[in-house]
Amino acid sequence: MSDQNPLFIPGPTNMPDRLRHAMQVQTRDHRAPDFVDTLLPVLDGCKEVFGTKTGHVITFPASGTGGWEAAITNTLSPGDTVLVARYGMFSHRWIDMCQRHGLDVRIIECDWGAGAPADRFEEALRADSVHAIKAVLVTHNETATGVKSDIGEVRGAMDAADHPALLLVDCVSSLASMPFEMDAWGVDIAVSGSQKGFMLATGMAILAASPKALAAMDDATLPRTFFDFRDMMQSNATGGFPYTPPLQLIYGMRESLKMLAEEGLENVYARHHRLAEGVRRAVRGWGLQLVAQSPELYSDTVSAIYVPKGFNSNALTDHAFKAYGVSFGVGLGEMNGKAFRIGHLGSLTDVMVLSGLATIEMAMADLNYPIELGDGVSAAQEYFRTSRAATLKSAA
Amino acid sequence: MSDQNPLFIPGPTNMPDRLRHAMQVQTRDHRAPDFVDTLLPVLDGCKEVFGTKTGHVITFPASGTGGWEAAITNTLSPGDTVLVARYGMFSHRWIDMCQRHGLDVRIIECDWGAGAPADRFEEALRADSVHAIKAVLVTHNETATGVKSDIGEVRGAMDAADHPALLLVDCVSSLASMPFEMDAWGVDIAVSGSQKGFMLATGMAILAASPKALAAMDDATLPRTFFDFRDMMQSNATGGFPYTPPLQLIYGMRESLKMLAEEGLENVYARHHRLAEGVRRAVRGWGLQLVAQSPELYSDTVSAIYVPKGFNSNALTDHAFKAYGVSFGVGLGEMNGKAFRIGHLGSLTDVMVLSGLATIEMAMADLNYPIELGDGVSAAQEYFRTSRAATLKSAA
Amino acid sequence: MSDQNPLFIPGPTNMPDRLRHAMQVQTRDHRAPDFVDTLLPVLDGCKEVFGTKTGHVITFPASGTGGWEAAITNTLSPGDTVLVARYGMFSHRWIDMCQRHGLDVRIIECDWGAGAPADRFEEALRADSVHAIKAVLVTHNETATGVKSDIGEVRGAMDAADHPALLLVDCVSSLASMPFEMDAWGVDIAVSGSQKGFMLATGMAILAASPKALAAMDDATLPRTFFDFRDMMQSNATGGFPYTPPLQLIYGMRESLKMLAEEGLENVYARHHRLAEGVRRAVRGWGLQLVAQSPELYSDTVSAIYVPKGFNSNALTDHAFKAYGVSFGVGLGEMNGKAFRIGHLGSLTDVMVLSGLATIEMAMADLNYPIELGDGVSAAQEYFRTSRAATLKSAA
Amino acid sequence: MSDQNPLFIPGPTNMPDRLRHAMQVQTRDHRAPDFVDTLLPVLDGCKEVFGTKTGHVITFPASGTGGWEAAITNTLSPGDTVLVARYGMFSHRWIDMCQRHGLDVRIIECDWGAGAPADRFEEALRADSVHAIKAVLVTHNETATGVKSDIGEVRGAMDAADHPALLLVDCVSSLASMPFEMDAWGVDIAVSGSQKGFMLATGMAILAASPKALAAMDDATLPRTFFDFRDMMQSNATGGFPYTPPLQLIYGMRESLKMLAEEGLENVYARHHRLAEGVRRAVRGWGLQLVAQSPELYSDTVSAIYVPKGFNSNALTDHAFKAYGVSFGVGLGEMNGKAFRIGHLGSLTDVMVLSGLATIEMAMADLNYPIELGDGVSAAQEYFRTSRAATLKSAA
């Protein structure tokens, strides 16, 4: 019967019925004259979520990882240099992808738990007087560590260095849950997916590309066909797709955008913040530490939480799953065994969050963690209770 | 977004996806030769849940109230005497129905919170030496008070008085959640519905009738057509229905019976007991009182809980709904304003129950109830935690 | 794989995805403050479909047969006289129900294939100078014979006889598919159901009652509780229900009313007429005869078609089901073996109708009916083709 | 209301309810211990459909085009030579993809309507004594022309030339609908997708790779990350995925494999052949010509049909969509304007096919094609009727 328990992984997220129904659309003809009326408003509607007026939205039937590959193959050439900071599993994987595509990757190593180091980026960019660096790659929200980086600061660093590199940003686990300002931050390509803040099934990579990024396509010689921006944009222009489109996800996205608009993006962000803060109060109640090193880095979509010395976080998430039928995020990469994660994004309420906190609290008690039942839950309850009035509208 | 919160009314219950899909069957021809293969195994499969081998299962497209009407109109005649004890809203309503159908209703008034008074039944039956009383009506689980009565004791009273009256039992909110033993208890008609332990949508009354009840049809002159047992049984015999059947619910019931069989009825009952006991621990943690007067009366499907003096239970349930988007049962009839109810039946897990307890706890704190956050939740957590091993299989 | 074939029984009808999704709503609390916002607009919205401004809409979790029982038990008393014409299976069943409820039924026997005999009603009513007759019962659309009666003429006959009897009308298989004018026709109670023109699952009886019918409740002594108008109206007034409401069907009805409004009732009727006429052209193409005796009686929701002498209609419908996986209506009552029926109502298109016609044509050829393949289909194609322009909007 | 009409494009196909439900699974944790029990049997179960015991099944969240890209990037290096015949839109596109990935493509130009030219392949391979050609690329079923090629003959040609090139085959629109024998035909990589014979939504590329193809990975230097076989195989081995898996499609595939097994692959192929032959009879009835040049090339999943001289096939498909709400395949590439296509694959019955034939027949009549209504439909009816007995089981 555990299917009815919510899950607390940082995506894919709990899908609301309304979106499950929207995605259950029977097959329609993607070459029929009316498909254009479906596709173009969806692409256009994503712009507000990306915070862009000048960007171009492009979608592929793929996961977010496919979106990354599209971002680099459409803008870079073999041997090009890119600058990346490694501070978690997803920045690590993006580095690996770049290397496998023959890029020269300059890596800034950071602690896991830190955010994008704007100052060290600036330093590196200033040192690159020949402008060998073609792109700076940043992960907005490190899903592995629960760290949200300040993209505006990275842009500031690039501007301070007066460097023309492209700014490519992974916002897979932040978009539609936390504020994202593509235009204001000067992001050239933002990469996201359907299965996080959009509350849909996995299977659609969603990107937004700036005019500067699109211009870079002309010189980019990394091979690409499936992920080619130009093919996609040309087909999209007349409502088509260069191959069979993921119809169900396009209809799902149409409805997701409606849901986000009905709640209001500001309310969506406020709701995520409130739920995240409730989780953080519980963490404090348990006397545990977040992986994120400081409050300004706290992610509103996922919290990575160190287990006490002598405990194995994998044993905790395993136990929670087997004993109570609830999924939490395991520790990834360097955090494996050291931290577990609570995803708190998408279609979620304070009530659902409390069931997750109550569950992991029981699991910790079962495994003799030095906590008392109620330590975390009551702290979250108190916060939810007292913060409710301010955000009642969004929680309704 | 509150649609994803579970609800804690004592039925209709949270429906699992598997049953929602089963009920979404496209229209099929109920006069087609294959309908018989669907209907008859469903009727037959219900027998085990009713605890009967000799009873006949009959279903109508109606609510449980319609099932009650079927029970009396198929077995009684205008002016007939019936014996009923009033100890809650549902026994009260059944009395009202009998009176409106021209029956002579002998009412034993009991406290709300008490169960069926076997001793007073026996007294009344012994006094009825002419056997004017044609039927004894008992509500197995009083949904308004959270009281489960002992039907076996009532049968004992009837046998002790050597009285031939029929025993008609309302098991709407107990069947498929708590043990029911139609044959062992000598029940003549048991009345239930689709929307409680069967975890389906509302719309199907489900009855089981003993041979003795069926024999009573010959003399019963209360008018009936829609609810006529004989029409239904004759049509059913060849896989038909005397009018359009509720196809979606029949397919839903087929799947529900599979789910109950896969979990195992004993495990289903054990799971309900464990969830109910968790709720009762929380009630004790809050220092509140159940309406049910003593432990042997505690229902495993719903708990009715007195609010402290000076508080209004309606304000509490209203607040929980408006502030947190969670539905709890209001106080009905005499309990209106005095008690709220927590439904804990159907497709439910300990994790879901904790979210309900955490929510009502916040609501009580908001309204300045004399409780501390965590008082109830942690008591339930502790019980769920320590009772888990014993029932791990059913909770999985 | 036959599940994807449309079915051609005269209800329940093929359900569109949109309504299947609407009916898949997760359980909500029917006692929550927001239920009133759902229920009342639904009841109100049905008025336009019934063609009434002064009538009161009442719904029960039951089939149409339950609606009939509600109609008579709320307005009549044991021994009351009612006037009914028998010209098909459904008028026959209503007569049977009245007799079993102790009414004195004056029956006008008509040929099956005829409609309601206004002249003979007038004669009987004029003869009833003492006004013993309390109600005239008429089946608007005889589903067994494919005959639509003229209710306005019946009202004319009643007025001509200056008779105060109530006019109770069964519009189960006509409402929302063919024009119905409750107010204009002076109908006192109109009885319908969810599973025909409303395109929903079976399980909701829908009635509209005139003020005169409601006034008759005061004197009506037939016993009723489940089907009591007064209980229902009192509960509905505040958004409640006297027992558990069929939530899924109420949400379904809300969406059905939206669909009907979006297409426009006039367009819905025109579409049904066009589909029906296509079927009739096919019947003529086969050289077969309709049961309905004359064109003004032709139903736009179902056609009953005589098989040639020497053939058994049951063998035909059986064969179509077994060989091709398509359900057609069997011949009912007097028509059993003599006629088969094609239902053409609800969510249906010309394209779907053609698949039904092509199928039954193959089935007839298989059984050596004196027809040629294409005889009927091409006649329907020609009609659909040439009639398309006029009704393009509604077929879209 | 046109949503209920079947569609007749050659994929994505009409999805049966059973698979729509399977794909509606709520989000589950792909890192939970039980995911392995879901994924591995699905991958394993696909082997039978591919006709392989030694091949390895790999799936990506992508369309079939993504599958092609995976096939070449995992086995080839920039500058490698491949041999391809161009005889339709999909072979054309694969050529384009190879060129954009820097491969040296030797193209054998064929008429559209022809199949893979085994003799010319043999000639080219014999001429390649230095074994420059690393792979032969063949489209099993050319969806644009309705041509099925004989892959066994191509393998014969390769063997006759004693050439070690890999054999890569596009079976997107044939797999699970027509026999495919990977092992018998010596196919090295077979590429398919979820949205055709598997009757699922678009979004999952499904490949099977021979040990020889897997060995080629070691030397293949085309850049790849998202589509890397090795990453995928390593993750899959322990039930994982290198990134978020398309959970809904994996569950859908599990159910699709069950459906295929229940019907029996041989019966699935026989059903497709029968439906296709019915369509071909209709084409002959209309006096029209198939694009496929000879009977052994006729595809059982899609028929491309030349319109008469002076007519534009786009006008026909447009009209059918606008006037009757039914989608047919447009003419692609060289066939644009010259031919329309009828898809007849996936979850389809003879009854559904007849509705498509009746519709396109009306559309042709509307546009003054030199045909008579009934010409095609009755020919198909006659064939379906007389061929029914032999394949009754599969049509049921």
pLDDT tens digits along A251-260 = 999 999 999 9
Check whether residue A223 and residue A133 sit in a common domain.
yes
Contact A55, A221 (CB under 8 A): no
**Nearest-CB residue to C362 (from D271, D324, D385):** D385
Contact B312, B339 (CB under 8 A): no
**Containing H/E element for C87?**
none
Check whether residue C304 and residue C169 sit in a common domain.
no
Contacts B–C by Cβ distance under 8 A: 175
The reply to whether residue C329 touches residue B242, judged by beta carbons under 8 angstroms, is: no
A26 interaction partners in chain C (CB closer than 8 Å) = 17
The reply to whether residue D24 touches residue B26, judged by beta carbons under 8 angstroms, is: no
d(CA D124, CA D137): 13
pLDDT in tens, B9-45: 999 999 999 999 999 999 998 888 888 899 999 999 9
Check whether residue C336 and residue C202 sit in a common domain.
no
**Nearest-CB residue to A377 (from B3, B5, B358):** B358
D388 interaction partners in chain C (CB closer than 8 Å) = 323-324, 366
Q: What is the CATH number of the domain that holds D240?
A: 3.40.640.10
**Mean pLDDT value across residues A226-230:** 98
| Domain end residue (candidates: C234, C261, C288) | C261
Q: What is the CATH number of the domain that holds D295?
A: 3.90.1150.10
C117 lies within 8 A of chain B by CB: no
**CB contact set of A146 (below 8 Å; sequence gap of 6+):** A290, A291, A292, A298, A299, A302, A303, A304, A305, A341
**Nearest-CB residue to B26 (from D17, D24, D26):** D17
| Domain end residue (candidates: D205, D232, D261) | D261
Check whether residue D179 and residue D161 sit in a common domain.
yes
Instruction: Specify the DSSP class assigned to residue C88.
Output: S
Confidence of residue C1 (pLDDT cuts 50, 70, 90): very low
d(CA B184, CA B186): 6
| Domain end residue (candidates: B198, B233, B261) | B261
**Nearest-CB residue to B33 (from C100, C244, C321):** C321
Distances (CA, A) of C346 to C15, C142, D278: 8, 16, 30
Contacts 24+ apart (CB under 8 A), B44-50: B45/B253, B45/B254, B45/B257, B45/B261, B46/B206, B46/B208, B46/B253, B46/B257, B47/B208, B48/B265, B49/B175, B49/B176, B49/B180, B49/B197, B49/B257, B49/B260, B49/B265, B50/B175, B50/B180, B50/B182, B50/B190, B50/B192, B50/B208
Check whether residue A194 and residue A46 sit in a common domain.
yes
Check whether residue B179 and residue B276 sit in a common domain.
no
D377 interaction partners in chain C (CB closer than 8 Å) = 358, 373-374, 377-378, 381
> What domain range is C125 assigned to?
18-261
A341 annotated to a ligand binding site = yes
pLDDT in tens, A4-34: 899 999 999 999 999 999 999 999 988 888 8
Check whether residue A68 and residue A155 sit in a common domain.
yes
Which one, of D126, D128, D92, lies nearest residue D108 by Cα? D92
Q: What are phi and psi of A222, to 5 degrees?
A: -60, 135
Chains touching A, CB cut-off 8 Å, 3+ pairs: B, C, D
B12 lies within 8 A of chain C by CB: yes
Residue B390: per-residue pLDDT:
58
D101 interaction partners in chain A (CB closer than 8 Å) = 223, 225
Chains touching C, CB cut-off 8 Å, 3+ pairs: A, B, D
Q: What are phi and psi of D210, to 5 degrees?
A: -80, 160
C25 lies within 8 A of chain A by CB: yes
D267 lies within 8 A of chain C by CB: no
Closest chain C residue by Cα to residue D384: C362
A6 interaction partners in chain B (CB closer than 8 Å) = 4
A73 interaction partners in chain D (CB closer than 8 Å) = 223
A25 interaction partners in chain C (CB closer than 8 Å) = 17
Contact D83, D110 (CB under 8 A): no
Residue D390: per-residue pLDDT:
59
**Nearest-CB residue to A351 (from B359, B365, B381):** B359
The verdict on whether omega for the bond into residue C245 sits within 30 degrees of 0, i.e. cis, is no
Which one, of B185, B152, B188, lies nearest residue B74 by Cα? B188
Question: How many Cβ atoms sit within 10 Å of the Cβ of residue B108?
Answer: 16
Check whether residue B193 and residue B213 sit in a common domain.
yes
The β-bridge partners of A56 are A209
pTM: 0.96
Question: How many Cβ atoms sit within 10 Å of the Cβ of residue C63?
Answer: 26
C355 interaction partners in chain D (CB closer than 8 Å) = 351-352, 354-355, 358
pLDDT in tens, C240-249: 999 999 999 9
d(CA A42, CA B327): 35
Chains touching B, CB cut-off 8 Å, 3+ pairs: A, C, D
B21 interaction partners in chain D (CB closer than 8 Å) = 21, 24
Ramachandran category for residue C31: left, alpha or beta (phi over 0 → left; psi -120 to 50 → alpha): alpha
B359 lies within 8 A of chain A by CB: yes
Instruction: Specify the DSSP class assigned to residue C29.
Output: -
D77 lies within 8 A of chain A by CB: no
Closest chain A C-alpha to B4 CA, distance in angstroms: 7
Residue C4: per-residue pLDDT:
84
Check whether residue D114 and residue D169 sit in a common domain.
yes
Contact C252, C346 (CB under 8 A): no
* pLDDT in single tens digits along all 396 residues of chain D: 457 899 999 999 999 999 999 999 999 988 888 888 999 999 999 999 999 999 999 999 999 999 999 999 999 999 999 999 999 999 999 999 999 999 999 999 999 999 999 999 999 999 999 999 999 999 999 999 999 999 999 999 999 999 999 999 999 999 999 999 999 999 999 999 999 999 999 999 999 999 999 999 999 999 999 999 999 999 999 889 999 999 999 999 999 999 999 999 999 999 999 999 999 999 999 999 999 999 999 999 999 999 999 999 999 999 999 999 999 999 999 999 999 999 999 999 999 999 999 999 999 999 999 999 999 999 999 999 999 875 544 433
The position carrying tokens 């008074």 is: B117
Does this complex have an ipTM over 0.90?
Answer: yes
Residue B391: per-residue pLDDT:
52
d(CA A188, CA A195): 22
d(CA D355, CA D367): 19
A325 lies within 8 A of chain B by CB: yes
> How many domains would you assign to chain A?
2
B372 lies within 8 A of chain A by CB: yes
**Mean pLDDT value across residues C39-67:** 97
Confidence of residue A390 (pLDDT cuts 50, 70, 90): low
Contact C385, C353 (CB under 8 A): no
User: Which residue spans within D70-196 are E strands per DSSP?
Assistant: 81-86, 104-109, 133-139, 141-142, 147-148, 166-170, 189-193
Check whether residue D250 and residue D271 sit in a common domain.
no
Check whether residue A285 and residue A179 sit in a common domain.
no
Check whether residue A278 and residue A385 sit in a common domain.
yes
Closest chain C C-alpha to B364 CA, distance in angstroms: 18
Closest chain A residue by Cα to residue C22: A21
Chains touching D, CB cut-off 8 Å, 3+ pairs: A, B, C
Residue D1: per-residue pLDDT:
41
The reply to whether residue D226 touches residue A69, judged by beta carbons under 8 angstroms, is: yes
Mutate to test the interface with A, among C21, C24, C27 (most CBs of A within 10 A): C21
**Mean pLDDT value across residues A355-365:** 98
